[in-house]
C-alpha cells in the first residue's frame, strides 16, 4: 500500500520544527493521517515522539510549520480549541479522576463535550441522554461491568481503557494515542489491539507505541522518527525491510 492510498488527508502536519536551545527535537517533520487510517509513529528513545505529540496537541508551541485538521488550520489553536476541532488525545491515565467511579468519570467527560446540543432539552431528558452516552462509551471499551467501580481501584489495563473512553467522549475525528499499551502484559495488550481496531471505524488514529507487535498488527502506515526527522514512511513490510530502520531501530528490538 502506498502512502497516498488512503486519499485526501484528514490531518496534515507540515514542516514542524521544535528547538530546545541548540537541540532540534522536531526537524521539518511532516505527517498526515487519512480518514479511517491508523498511522503509527515509532522511533528509538529520544527520537522526538513525545515532542511531536505535544506539538500536535498544542501543549508545546511550534517554531515553524502548520497543522490542519479536516480543513481547519489549528496551527496556533489552544489545546482545548484543538479538542473542539476534533483532535482528542489520550493522556496515559492522567485524565482519570481516581477517586470517582467509572460512571462519574464518563459522565463528566460527556457533559464537558455535550456543549450547546443539549440547550433545548429539559433537565431530566438531558440527564438520561448523558447517562446513556456514558454507558455506551463504557460498552465500547468493554467496561460496562465496571461502571460502579472506583476508577483508581481498577487494574492498569482497565484504566487505560477508561482513558480511551474519556478521549472518545469528545467524538474526535483524530485520536492521538500515546503509548496505549505501555505497562501492559500480553493479555491486556491483545485486548487493546482489538479495541483500537474497532475504534478506527469511528475515528482516524495517530498511534505512538513502543510495542512493535501491536504496531505491525494495527498500522496502515508507519513513520519512523530518528533524531527529530522522519527517516521513512510506509506499510509494515516497507518499514521492516528498510535497511536504515533495521540499523537504527529494529536491530535493537525483538520483531519476531
Ligand X SMILES: Nc1ncnc2c1ncn2[C@@H]1O[C@H](COP(=O)(O)OP(=O)(O)OP(=O)(O)O)[C@@H](O)[C@H]1O
Size of the site for ligand X (CB under 6 A): 11
CA distance 23 to 233: 23
Nearest CB to ligand X, comparing residues 2 and 45: 45
- Output the smallest distance, CB 60 to ligand X, in A: 8
Residue burial 111-130, b: 16+ Cβ < 10 Å; e: rest: bebbeeeeeeeeeeebeeeb
- Give the one residue of 4, 7, 46, 241 binding ligand X; rule: CB under 6 A: 46
- Output the smallest distance, CB 131 to ligand X, in A: 38
By CB under 6 A, residue 247 contacts ligand X: no
Tell me which stretch binds ligand X (CB under 6 A): 48-56, 123-131, 160-168, 189-197. 48-56
Tell me which stretch binds ligand X (CB under 6 A): 42-50, 149-157, 180-188, 247-255. 42-50
Nearest CB to ligand X, comparing residues 40 and 146: 40
By CB under 6 A, residue 89 contacts ligand X: no
- Output the smallest distance, CB 224 to ligand X, in A: 11
By CB under 6 A, residue 180 contacts ligand X: no
By CB under 6 A, residue 75 contacts ligand X: no
- Output the smallest distance, CB 17 to ligand X, in A: 13
Tell me which stretch binds ligand X (CB under 6 A): 41-49, 83-91, 93-101, 186-194. 41-49
Q: Which of residues 7-36 bind ligand X (CB under 6 A)?
A: 20, 23, 25
By CB under 6 A, residue 50 contacts ligand X: yes
Task: Please give, one letter per residue, the 3-state secondary structure of the chain.
Answer: CCCCCCCCCCEEEEEEEEEECCEEEEEEEEEEECCCCEEEEECCCCCCHHHHHHHHHCCCCCCEEEEEECCEECCCCCHHHHHHHCEEECCCCCCCCCCCEHHHHHHHHHHHHHHHHHCCCCHHHHHHHHHHHHHHHHHHCCCHHHCCCEHHHCCHHHHHHHHHHHHHCCCCCEEEEECCCCCCCHHHHHHHHHHHHHHCCCCEEEEECCCHHHHHHHCCEEEEEECCEEEEEECHHHHHHCHHHHHHCHHHCCCC
- Give the one residue of 12, 42, 51, 113 binding ligand X; rule: CB under 6 A: 51
Q: Which residues bind ligand X (CB under 6 A)?
A: 20, 23, 25, 43, 45-51
Amino acid at each position: 500500500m502506498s502512502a497516498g492510498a488512503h486519499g485526501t488527508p484528514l490531518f496534515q502536519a507540515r514542516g514542524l520544527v521544535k528547538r530546545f536551545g541548540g537541540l532540534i527535537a522536531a526537524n521539518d517533520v511532516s505527517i498526515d493521517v487519512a480518514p479511517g487510517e491508523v498511522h503509527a509513529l515509532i522511533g528509538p528513545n529520544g527520537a522526538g515522539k513525545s515532542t511531536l505529540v505535544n506539538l500536535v496537541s498544542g501543549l508545546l508551541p511550534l517554531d515553524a510549520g502548520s497543522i490542519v485538521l479536516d480543513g481547519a488550520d489549528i496551527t496556533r489553536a489552544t489545546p482545548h480549541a484543538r479538542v473542539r476541532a476534533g483532535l482528542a488525545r489520550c493522556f496515559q491515565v492522567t485524565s482519570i479522576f481516581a477517586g470517582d467511579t467509572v460512571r462519574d468519570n464518563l459522565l463528566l467527560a460527556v457533559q464537558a463535550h455535550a456543549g450547546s446540543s443539549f440547550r433545548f432539552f429539559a433537565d431530566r431528558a438531558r440527564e438520561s441522554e448523558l447517562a446513556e452516552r456514558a454507558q455506551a462509551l463504557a460498552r465500547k471499551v468493554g467496561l460496562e461491568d465496571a461502571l460502579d467501580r472506583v476508577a483508581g481501584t481498577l487494574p492498569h489495563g482497565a484504566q487505560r481503557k477508561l482513558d480511551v473512553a474519556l478521549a472518545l467522549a469528545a467524538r474526535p475525528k483524530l485520536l492521538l494515542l500515546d503509548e496505549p499499551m505501555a505497562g501492559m502484559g500480553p493479555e491486556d495488550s491483545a485486548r487493546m489491539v482489538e479495541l483500537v481496531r474497532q475504534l478506527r471505524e469511528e475515528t482516524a488514529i495517530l498511534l505512538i507505541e513502543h510495542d512493535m507487535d501491536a504496531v505491525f498488527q494495527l498500522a496502515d502506515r508507519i513513520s519512523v522518527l530518528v533524531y527529530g526527522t522522519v527517516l521513512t514512511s510506509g506499510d509494515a513490510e516497507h518499514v521492516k525491510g528498510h535497511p536504515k530502520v533495521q540499523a537504527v531501530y529494529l536491530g535493537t528490538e525483538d520483531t519476531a
